[in-house]
Structure 1
Amino acid sequence: MQRVFIVEDDQTIVQAMQTALAKWQFQTQTVQDWQQVATEISAYDPDLVVMDITLPTFDGFYWTGKIRETSQVPIMFVSAGEMDPNAVRAIATGADDYIVKPFALSVFVSKIQAILRRSQRSAATLETLNFEDYSLNILNNELTHGIASVKLSPTEGTILKLFFLNPDQTLSKKQLVQKIWQGGLFIDEGVLSVNISRLREKLAKVDLRARLVTERGRGYRLVRAHG
């Protein structure tokens, strides 16, 4: 049974989330001590975290930063504010997706299922993809190059996987959004741009940043050394 940790202080919303998730056989846990949110999440070891922005002590951006110090667990933000800039800030902080209140519980569950499909691969799936002398483990989203390695978030790993599978091919923003976010009905291209920027920062650690180029007005392309 997959586990979801809910970081939300409105008990009406919490109960609605738990009821909706229980129908799909998810196990859930909520915050007991608002000073120890990151510790409680670590102890529960969930498959996904639902994170509100406005909380009793520190906000959701703070707790996401704390979680990202030690874990790449998928995080979905719940925002009562405008979709931007809160959503973009959430993604930049380390979230994998977001949903804006008020929302339909069916959409809420669908987003969680989509995130988990991106982050969890079956044992039958090919474990690694290679691009020249770079290797991407698509089970744990770890990119290695020689003795150097960098851990990617599930969303970043999905993006890089698409480039590894399509070297020297320009992938449009629309194509990427549709493939990464299950049709992209609730995602705008600004969120993709933030994820690409965050991915590039990590690629710099393994000397791959310059190879992920922007084709202005068209999309992005991962270029071969002698392409």
Structure 2
Amino acid sequence: MAKVFVVEDNPTIIKTIRTELAKWKHTIITVKDWDHVADEVEEADPDLILFDITLPTFDGFYWISAVRQITKAPIIVISAADIDSNIMHAIASGADDYIMKPFSTAVLLAKIQALLRRSQEPGNVDNLNWDTNDLNSLTNELTTPKGSVQLSPTESALLGVLITHLNQTVTKEQLLEWLWQGGKFLNDNTLNVNISRLRSKLATVNLNDNLRTERGIGYRLVTRHAK
């Protein structure tokens, strides 16, 4: 059973989400004060957050950025806004996935369950290493000689896959299959933006050159002296 915080002002959509997630014994929390969304999320300490974009006060992009500063919980954006024009903005703000209104509750549930598994059941290996760098898959923190970097659950999962396939090219299709249930409900931009966001964080500790793009194929994480 998980605690899901729903940042949505449409009572019909809230009721739909509540009814569906109740079948799986998930607890649903909603916003009480639209001027203090981030404070309420921090107090609730949810396992996952659902975010609309159009909200009564600041928009979802603003609140996603604010919430991402205080929690590592996975974030799914639910919006009627055009997916192509907004998905990159949403993910750059800190979201992990995206779904369009009107949405299928089965698709929403699949996304929720996938992100919960990824964030709560990281597997038997808590720490993954390459060169002198260490990724803690429980806390999603990357520790390097140049400092530490806090990753989102999706960024951590991406890096974890690349570490376990060090110096090997991992195709986009493989990443979609392993991290997003084959990408059946996913816009391709999600993978590209998450890779870009991961590369930006690696750049803060001088590791961005270690993440290589194999054009038209996929991505490869390399060791310090690899060509």
Q: TM-score, normalised by structure 2?
A: 0.96
Q: 1:6 aligns to what SS in structure 2?
A: strand
- Say if 1:173 and 1:189, in contact at 8 Å, map to a contact too: no
Aligned-residue offset at 1:205 = 1.9
Question: Unaligned stretches of 5+ in structure 2?
Answer: none
Paired residues for 1:122-137 under 5 Å: 125-137=124-136
Aligned-residue offset at 1:70 = 2.0
- Say if 2:141 and 2:149, in contact at 8 Å, map to a contact too: yes
Aligned-residue offset at 1:68 = 1.4
**Residue equivalent to 2:57:** 57
Quote the Cα distance in structure 2 between the aligned partners of 1:189 and 1:101.
18
- Say if 2:172 and 2:217, in contact at 8 Å, map to a contact too: yes
Comparing 19-28 and 178-187, the one that deviates more: 178-187
Quote the Cα distance in structure 2 between the aligned partners of 1:146 and 1:88.
31
**Residue equivalent to 2:86:** 86
Kindly provide the CA deviation profile for residues 168-200 of structure 1, in whole angstroms up to 9, marking residues without a partner as x. Answer: 111111211221112210113211111011001
Q: 1:135 aligns to what SS in structure 2?
A: strand
Q: TM-score, normalised by structure 1?
A: 0.96
Quote the Cα distance in structure 2 between the aligned partners of 1:147 and 1:214.
23
Comparing 83-92 and 60-69, the one that deviates more: 83-92
**Residue equivalent to 2:197:** 198
- Say if 2:146 and 2:206, in contact at 8 Å, map to a contact too: no
Q: How many corresponding residue pairs?
A: 226
Segments of 4+ in structure 1 off by > 6 A? none
- Say if 1:121 and 1:138, in contact at 8 Å, map to a contact too: no
Question: Unaligned stretches of 5+ in structure 1?
Answer: none
Q: 1:117 aligns to what SS in structure 2?
A: helix
Percent identical residues: 51
**Residue equivalent to 1:95:** 95
Q: 2:183 aligns to what SS in structure 1?
A: coil
Within the alignment, does 1:209 sit opposite 2:211 as a pair?
A: no
Superposition RMSD on alpha carbons, in Å? Answer: 1.2
